[in-house]
Amino acid sequence: MKKTLFLFLAILTGCASTPSQLDTGQKARSSATVHTELGGGYYSRGQYAVALQELKEAIKADPTYAPAYNVLGLVYMTLRENETAQQNFERALSLSPKDSDINNNYGWFLCQTKREAESVRHFLVALENPLYPTPEKAYLNAGICSERMKDDRHAEAYYLDALQIQARLPEANLGLARIYFRERRYSLARLHFSNYIQVAEPDAASLWLGIRIEHAAGGSDREADYEAQLKRRFPGSREAQDLLDGKFE
């Protein structure tokens, strides 16, 4: 009888300690969350050293908090410490393999390190979550990385999917303008370039694309406008020199 009573009391003692353990775990997770959010804020402002400090505090508080490793991966990717970035992204995925943000960010890292085919698989995992709040990002990234592989068929589909969600997404419109220009579908290329330039600040490369689209489509006032912008804003660029040399192809 005494033995039975001892076992029962031991079980009760164990149960009684659970709330305390739970409180400790909740505090650790809460601390990790706060430090990760601070680290993400510093990262977005380009304060990488402070971001790393906050993220290391997050992991110290809770070594199982996947978002902290995710943001660490982003910081190290930006610092071009690719091996460390990969380690952190892989740690994040080992803790939360279906997380959309982690898969999207790791996919972009893979694309930036010339592993485009592998990257697209991660974008598609990110899109499996119907509650993912920014699926247009994963579609856009999948389009960019497919285009880099010269897979215009899939790139076009991903860009169009992105535009179904956010119709004025500049990078998706620009990507479609590039694809349709290569395919000599000039009316569509012109449409999407027009959509792009209405919402984005063009660089030399995009202005040169717009010039070549208009030139191939027969010329227009827009061609002259794009040419004037390229010469005025980027006079020393390779694109400006190509314009002077008449290298439209």
Mean pLDDT calculated for residue range 20-45: 88
**Per-residue pLDDT, 18:** 56
Residues 6+ apart with CB under 8 A from 222: 194, 210, 214
- The Cα–Cα gap between 78 and 173 comes to 26
Fold of 28-97: 1.25.40
Size of the chain, expressed as the number of residues it contains = 249
Output the pTM of the full model: 0.86
**Per-residue pLDDT, 19:** 56
Would the pLDDT of 153 be above 70?
Answer: yes
- Delimiting residues of CATH 1.25.40.10 domain(s) in the chain: 28-97
b/e map of 206-221 (b: 16 or more CB within 10 Å)? Answer: bbbbbbbbbbbbeeee
pLDDT tens figures, 214-231: 999 987 889 999 999 999
**Per-residue pLDDT, 71:** 97
Would the pLDDT of 82 be above 80?
Answer: yes
**Per-residue pLDDT, 4:** 33
